[in-house]
Amino acid sequence: MQRFPRENCGIFGVYGHPEASKLTYFGLYALQHRGQESAGIVVSDGKEIHEHKGMGLVPEVFDESILNSLPGHIAIGHVRYSTTGFSLLRNAQPFVVYHLGMTLAIAHNGNLINAYDLRKQLEEDGAIFQSTMDSEIIIHLWAHYFYLGMEEGLAKALSKVKGAYSLVLMTEDTLIAARDPNGFRPLCLGKLKNGGYIIASETCALDLIEAKYIRDVEPGEILFINDKGLHSIYLPPAPRHSHCIFELIYFARPDSRIFGRNVYLFRKAQGEELAKETKIEADLVMPFPDSGNYVAIGYAQAANLPFEIGMIRNHYVGRTFIQPSPTMRDFGVKIKLNPVKELLKDKRIVILEDSIIRGTTCRSRIKTLREIGVKEIHLLVSCPPHCFPCYYGIDFSSKGELIAASKSIEEIRKFLNLDSLHYLSMDGLLKASDIPKQQLCLACFNGEYPILLEREFSKTWLERHGA
């Protein structure tokens, strides 16, 4: 997909393992796809808390000597993409504060849509913020209501926030997991062979450390884990669950199971549904790696067409890659994906892609394929057109950057220079997900936002009606 949308973070927690920091390191490594700007780990031995954070990938931020300096049996960790707050070290998580002789730490995946109002009110009440993260707001609210006790104070704090959040929090002796009542972002509970517990954004992190999946943290659940065992309290339920469909389409690792659905099989099913909706005479099927791989497999099998990897991805393009100058602008696309010329020349090809956001990168890739002599190019997209911004943590927050918000499918086809373009229908997407429509957030496709501030609703209404 082009202009890769950025989702804000992967979180991980450990209770009851003597090398919690090392376990968290491997857990974050498995969740690296969810955030590549910064990484952090906070650890407790039951009395003292130690932390280390840095900018970059997990193995760039941590080494064995650093992990050995983080002793303890309780830990939380975080890998970050920024949606609220600039990409700076002071905004790296987990975030740690000291209050009434206690240490409170938080790692957050999601986005609060009433963060501005809450922060303004807290600052007027005398709160001093150390970062620009909306995650820090939750800590300030928790501290504000701590007089109610740790559990009730946190429940009161979370009742004040609106939006998407999956959280791991920690005190000196307790690991806490929490999920918003709508259940926008995934979060699961696992158990270690030694009896300890794991909290993770995705089940792939449990697999790496050989933890057994127990269950998902429920929407609206606040789960406390300490030497007394597991204990949950619940926030008032939302009118309905609103699991983010884009987690399944793009963000989650294909070997994960989220929202009760295996991601790999979901993406294959998307391809099968596309094969039902289209009849294209072609020589081969290929993905734009890696996001289209599994959809392409499903489509090729259902359409009885050969599957090929027609573009080769360079897996070693890191965040420090020197950006090409304007006169070398095509290099930025070609350094990541390069076509196999002898395979594709004079062929009719079907390309599978997970989504089209702005269309600029896709246009460059199609241009490259035309230049090597591809005869026909048919592009199939494994979801409906993205027409509306996301307020819940996916970083396509401006309607102006969404090509489908201003162009028809035929106009997009011409812009991309395709022989045909087809988006998976909403019915096809829902069949592939095997999740009831009323349990999914589909707002980026249909503009039906589960939670919205009045001023944001007015703004969206005006945009939708061209006012």
Same structural domain, 99 and 232 = yes
Under DSSP, the state recorded for 161 is: -
Together in a domain, 176 and 304: no
Q: Is residue 279 domain-shared with residue 230, that is, in the same domain?
A: no
Q: What one-character-per-residue DSSP string does 259-318 give?
A: TTEEHHHHHHHHHHHHHHH-----SEEEESTTTTHHHHHHHHHHHT--B---EEE-TT--
Distance of CA 289 to the CA centre of its chain: 18
Strand partners, 229: 226
Asked if 63 and 191 sit in the same domain, the reply is yes
Q: Residues 9, 362, 390, 444: which is the catalytic one? A: 9
Lowest mean pLDDT among 76-85, 224-233, 374-383: 76-85
Q: Does 312 share its domain with 226? A: no
Together in a domain, 271 and 186: no
CATH of the domain at 422: 3.40.50.2020
Quick one: 185 and 320 in the same domain? no
Q: Identify any residues that bridge with 215 across adjacent strands, giving them in sequence order.
A: 189
293 and 217 fall within a common domain: no
Span 275-334, pLDDT tens digits: 999 999 999 999 998 889 999 999 999 999 999 999 998 876 654 445 556 555 556 566
Q: 94-120 pLDDT, tens per residue?
A: 999 888 788 999 999 998 888 888 888
* In the predicted structure, residue 369 carries a pLDDT above the cut 70: yes
Final residue belonging to a domain, choices 203, 238, 273: 238
> Is 127 part of a structural domain of the chain?
yes
Q: Tell me, what's the pLDDT at 85?
A: 46
- The pTM (predicted TM-score) of the whole model is 0.89
Q: Which domain covers residue 277, as residue numbers?
A: 263-464
Residue 66 in any domain: the answer is: yes
User: Do 203 and 297 sit in the same domain of this protein?
Assistant: no
Tell me whether residue 362 is one of the annotated catalytic residues.
no
Q: Which helix (H) or strand (E) holds 432?
A: helix 426-433
pLDDT at 89 > cutoff 90: no
Within a domain: 110: yes
